[in-house]
Structure 1
Amino acid sequence: MPESSIRKKAAEKKKQTSAETAAEARKERQRRVAAPGSRRWVPPTFITVGLLGVLWLVVYYIAGHRIPFMSDLGGWNVLVGMGCMAAAFGIATLWK
């Protein structure tokens, strides 16, 4: 059965519209996938914060009774040291 010219024009218009929509969607995806800025700050930061946590615990166990603010904190020093190490692991997840 022959198609009318109106049907052909409608089919061509639909095909063109869907192709344009697909092209726009590809452009949007490419814009959203753009890489974030430089992450060169991450390794030195997480190493520093992690070592700070370890150093805090070492100083607390060796000389915590001689340092006034550490003796005032008491058992909370463990939380401070472990918190720094946990923060270091959290920062490490940002590394790409």
Structure 2
Amino acid sequence: MPKSKVRKKTDYTINPASRTPVKIKGGPSPVWYVAIMLGFMVAGLLWLLVYYLAAEKITWMNDLNAWNFLIGFGLMVVGLIMTMRWR
């Protein structure tokens, strides 16, 4: 039976020339962006709290019925989507 050829093991060291740093576009987010982002999340939370606690006393809010959930969670989702662009 013929003898198999001995394979040379591949070198797994990383080539230092291929490790160039990548520059990130832009810099940190401005303060107003963070304030608006947190504002959306807090506004959604407050909308739902007011709906649960005082909807009977606020007639226009009581008329919205289940749309209040869409408004409250929608505001919070907008704030969460903004977190993806926050640096």
TM range (shorter): 0.5 to 0.7
Alignment of 1:1-96 (within 5 A): 35=26, 39-96=30-87
Contact 1:54 1:85 in 2 (8 A): yes
| Structure of higher CA gyration radius | 1
Contact 2:44 2:73 in 1 (8 A): yes
Structural RMSD (CA): 2.0
The structure that is helix-richer by fraction is 1
Moved more, 73-82 or 34-43: 34-43
Contact 1:53 1:83 in 2 (8 A): yes
What is the CA distance between 1:72 and its match in structure 2?
A: 1.0
Contact 1:42 1:94 in 2 (8 A): no
- Structure 1 residues 94 and 34, CA, compared in 2 at 3 Å: closer, same or farther? closer
| AA in 1 matched with 2:47 | W
- Structure 1 residues 36 and 81, CA, compared in 2 at 3 Å: closer, same or farther? same
Q: Give the Cα–Cα distance (whole angstroms) in 2 for the partners of residues 51 and 78 of structure 1.
A: 14
Query: TM-score, structure 1 length as denominator?
Result: 0.59
What is the CA distance between 1:79 and its match in structure 2?
A: 0.8
What is the CA distance between 1:76 and its match in structure 2?
A: 0.6
Contact 2:29 2:86 in 1 (8 A): no
Query: TM-score, structure 2 length as denominator?
Result: 0.65
